[in-house]
Amino acid sequence: ANFEVKLNIDKEDYIFKDSLKATIEGIYLFGAMMNGEGVSWKIRLNPTHFSPAGHKGYFFGPGWWEEDDKSQLIESGEGKLDSRGRFNLEKNLQEVGFKGSAKLLLEAVVTDPTRQSIATRTTAIVHRGQYYIGIKPSTTFAQESQEVKIKVITVEEEGEIIPGKELELRILKREWHSEKEELSGGRWRWISKKEDKEKASYQMISGAEPLSFSFSPESAGLYFVEAKGEDSRGNKILSGSSFYVSGKGYGFWEKRKDDRIELVADTDNYHPGDTARILVKSPYEKAKALVTLEREGIIESWVEEIKGTAQTLQIPISQEHIPNVFLSVILLKGRVSQQGTSEKEDIEKPSFKIGYLDLSVDPAQKRLDVKVIPEKKEYSPQDRVRIAIKVRNSAGKAVPCEVSVAVVDMGVLNLIGYKTPDAFNTFYSHRPLSVKTSETRSYVIEEIDLSAKGVSPGGDGGMEKFAGMPIRERLVPTAYWNPAVEIGLEGGEIDFELPDNLTTFKVMVTALTKDSLFGSGEE
């Protein structure tokens, strides 16, 4: 393509009910403005999270437990560039039912007379209202009866505190009520329903300094802090935060019949030197736990005793864990009773539960800052070009290194959408687990006492003397097994006695040599 497309909007961010003004420009690479060429455009709003700067530890926007907002196509249209190579667009950003802020995506496509098209896009934040409500619990992992202090502020999008906003706050506790539902054949499953119980409520007016109040949870579980307000435009503003409470009491977690448990981290991202606090949502009041750190192998492992259904683990984070590491917790519990059960399922047999958590570790210290500085901005054909390249580490210090440099026609790059390769993200992007965990307790044979149902347990073989032929007693699925049979140049052979089965046996042979040749055969 021999042209480029520029897209400009009048603001970097908006508030719902603002007016959006945008300009789409088409410019030939030789400098002339395009005129009369076709333009198509569309505006989409995607849910996003926004945190005003300067208020570390505060949570802004709807809580994670709220139902997610859905991406919405707001409007689309077509037009033509004017004599200045421009197309002007103005639209009102009406409230569309989002609970939080949105990211506006404006896309434009310009098509030249040869039907070559170039697309471009720009984004901007659309704030939920004229202010944000910030909530800051003193901890995200509290103990039973431990006082949790909660601070509340109202701020503009740039972070400046604005007082005088009427707010309604509530503290809720989520509880799961689980019941067994009987299925056909005597089987069963758990049916769990959640309930958010209000534990405290407050009416307040925000001030020039953070408002502060205290709450003491009486029992283990998950708690929500919810704050609501409204701006002068009528935009509803919602913020939420949460904290877990651990202790020896019983946590009302969702019950499941599978072997999974949930692990909860105290933050989304760690740095080398941090200690991660992990809550284990255990269905057992006491169990042994095999704890492992994994990524493309086992990095570290140890055993802990888990007491209660809401205990926390302390996990030191090191540079070895960059950019992420997986935490595995396997809870082990032996048989509850040696008598079996008269149920159709042996609910007291040995059991286990397993949980995995992907812990992100910030790799910022591995990033290089590369500056490309040309001697001047414009050159003529056949001019000599001088470009300075400066490279610094995350601490801002210059470092020696090796670089690759490519200077390529922008027209070609625009046509194929090529971007400068990002080696940092290539080497420090998320890594896979690449570890498979198996647990044989899932294959334990159930001990079921059928005598309680009046079922005959069978005889003891006392009628053998009346049989016209010997009783077949040795019934086994494997007639022969030998993991190491030596075969010479002349071959080899095996011999064995068949069991009493009336069946057909398949002989399967797998072979290998010392120099790693492999083969197999069967009969």
Q: 3-class secondary structure for 314-334?
A: EEECCHHHCCEEEEEEEEEEC
d(Cα 223, Cα 199) in Å, to the nearest integer?
A: 9
> According to CATH, where is 2.60.40.1940 located in the chain?
3-127
Residue 253, classed as helix, strand or coil, is coil
| Token couple for 64 | 């994670």
d(Cα 37, Cα 502) in Å, to the nearest integer?
A: 83
Closest by CA to 136, choosing from 191, 77, 214, is: 214
Query: What average pLDDT does this structure show over 409-438?
Result: 83
b/e burial code for range 104-135 (CB count within 10 A of at least 16 → b): bbbbbbbbbeeeeebebeeebbbbbbbbbbbb
516 phi-psi bin (left φ>0, alpha ψ -120 to 50, beta other): left
Of all residues in the chain, the percent with pLDDT exceeding 70 is 79
Is residue 456 pLDDT above 50, yes or no? no
Residue showing tokens 């989409």: 44
344-359 pLDDT, tens digit per residue, is: 555 566 778 888 999 9
Q: Please, what is the end-to-end C-alpha distance for the chain in angstroms?
A: 66
- Residue 118 · residue 110 · CB < 8 Å: yes
- Residue 98 · residue 39 · CB < 8 Å: no
Output the average pLDDT for the chain. Answer: 82
Is residue 270 pLDDT above 90, yes or no? yes
Q: Is the dihedral of CA 398, 403, 408, 411 positive or negative?
A: negative
Cβ atoms within 10 Å, residue 6: 15
pLDDT given at position 516: 40
Tell which wins on pLDDT, 404 or 15. 15
Closest by CA to 169, choosing from 146, 200, 140, 207, is: 200
What is the DSSP code (8-state) at residue 515? T
Is residue 515 pLDDT above 70, yes or no? no
Query: What average pLDDT does this structure show over 155-183?
Result: 88
Question: Does the N-terminal peptide bond of residue 323 adopt cis geometry, omega within 30 degrees of 0?
Answer: yes
- Residue 498 · residue 479 · CB < 8 Å: yes
d(Cα 191, Cα 179) in Å, to the nearest integer?
A: 5
Name the amino acid, one letter, at 220. Answer: A
pLDDT given at position 369: 82
Query: What average pLDDT does this structure show over 312-324?
Result: 91
- Residue 182 · residue 188 · CB < 8 Å: yes
Tell which wins on pLDDT, 156 or 185. 156
> Out of 17-26, 48-57, 269-278, 393-402, which region has the weakest mean confidence (pLDDT)?
393-402
pLDDT given at position 338: 55
pLDDT given at position 282: 85
Distances 321 to 296, 364, 429 between C-alpha atoms, Å: 11, 13, 12
For the domain made up of 3-127, give the CATH fold.
Immunoglobulin-like (2.60.40)
Distances 427 to 1, 102, 363, 366, 435 between C-alpha atoms, Å: 33, 31, 10, 10, 20
pLDDT given at position 455: 45
- Residue 123 · residue 106 · CB < 8 Å: yes
pLDDT given at position 503: 56
Of all residues in the chain, the percent with pLDDT exceeding 90 is 42
For the domain made up of 147-246, give the CATH fold.
Immunoglobulin-like (2.60.40)
Position 444 confidence tier, pLDDT thresholds 50, 70, 90? low
Position 404 confidence tier, pLDDT thresholds 50, 70, 90? confident
- Residue 255 · residue 283 · CB < 8 Å: yes
d(Cα 509, Cα 523) in Å, to the nearest integer?
A: 9
Residues counted in the chain: 523
pLDDT given at position 475: 62
Q: Look up the pTM and report it.
A: 0.63
Query: Partners of 78 in the beta sheet?
Result: 40
| Token couple for 98 | 């989002």
